[in-house]
């Protein structure tokens, strides 16, 4: 097995950016695994898939795609033949004909979940206090402040469009299930992961384990890389 042949491409979710993957990227690099991050515009699902396709165009060889939260819908919307596996990090996985909102609201959220609504210009922002109570409650206060300062809003056009046949129907998937997630209920995550027949790892982690539990994220991704590189 040679890790050199597979590249991991990371897609961030809403209210985050590509820097949210930095700790995981460093861990993969320490193992000799190539990794690429890129920025999603979060302006529409089509725009985000186009950004992913542009990134994949510049990657040589087989790819493992990793997506967090909303980006689970993005990584499953490519048909690029380079993709060998999908890794979902507390991520959403709508099936054909479903929207991201359909699966996000499939089960009731707990009382820590923030209230979400578009602003006067049509963008959905995460309330600042939610970074410490629901989004990344296991991160340090400094990390929570940095995440809030760098947050990127999402457009309803990302979450209200039915998806086509998802790639997880034809390539293997791994799922890191966050049992302390106050953004996407654990029950919802388990439903999606089981529907995909994903390799499931469940841990008492928050919604953003790439920051608060990067070793667990790295392990799931490394497992997918090893399986894809046989």
- C-beta atoms surrounding 32 within 10 Å: 9
In this structure, the dihedral spanned by the alpha carbons of residues 131, 135, 140 and 144, taken in order and rounded to 10 degrees, is: -30
Residue 229 has a pLDDT of 77
In the three-class reduction of DSSP (H, G, I as helix; E, B as strand; rest coil), residue 221 is classed as helix
Q: Which two tokens stand for residue 226?
A: 């090893």
Residue 208 has a pLDDT of 98
HEC per residue, 161-176? CCCCCCHHHCCCEEEE
**Local confidence pLDDT in tens for the 230 residues of the chain:** 344 589 999 999 999 999 999 999 999 999 999 999 999 999 999 999 999 999 999 999 999 999 999 999 999 999 999 999 999 999 999 999 999 999 999 999 999 999 999 999 999 999 999 999 999 999 999 999 999 999 999 999 999 999 999 999 999 999 999 999 999 999 999 999 999 999 999 999 999 999 999 999 999 999 999 998 76
Q: Which domains does the chain have, with CATH numbers?
A: 3-228 (3.40.50.1820)
The C-alpha atoms of residue 75 and residue 107 are separated, in whole angstroms, by 23
- Indicate yes or no: pTM above 0.85: yes
């Amino acid at each position: 097995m040679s890790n050199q042949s597979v590249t991991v491409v990371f897609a961030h979710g809403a209210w985050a950016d590509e820097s949210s993957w930095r700790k995981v990227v460093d861990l993969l690099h320490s193992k000799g695994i190539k990794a690429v991050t890129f920025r999603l515009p979060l302006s529409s699902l089509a725009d985000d898939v186009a950004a992913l396709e542009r990134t994949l165009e510049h990657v040589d060889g087989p790819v493992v795609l990793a997506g967090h939260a909303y980006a689970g819908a993005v990584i499953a919307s490519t048909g690029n033949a380079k993709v060998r596996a999908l890794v979902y990090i507390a991520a959403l996985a709508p099936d054909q004909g479903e929207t991201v909102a359909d699966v996000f609201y499939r089960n009731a959220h707990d009382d820590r979940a923030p209230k979400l609504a578009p602003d006067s210009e049509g963008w959905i922002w995460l309330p600042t206090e939610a970074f410490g109570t629901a989004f990344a409650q296991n991160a340090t206060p400094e990390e929570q402040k940095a995440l809030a300062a760098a947050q990127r809003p999402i457009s309803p056009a990302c979450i209200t469009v039915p998806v086509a046949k998802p790639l997880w129907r034809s390539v293997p998937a791994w799922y890191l299930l966050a049992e302390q997630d106050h953004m996407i209920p654990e029950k919802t995550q388990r439903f999606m992961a089981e529907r995909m027949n994903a390799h499931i790892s469940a841990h008492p982690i928050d919604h953003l384990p790439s920051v608060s539990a990067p070793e667990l994220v790295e392990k799931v991704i490394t497992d997918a890389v090893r399986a894809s590189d046989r």
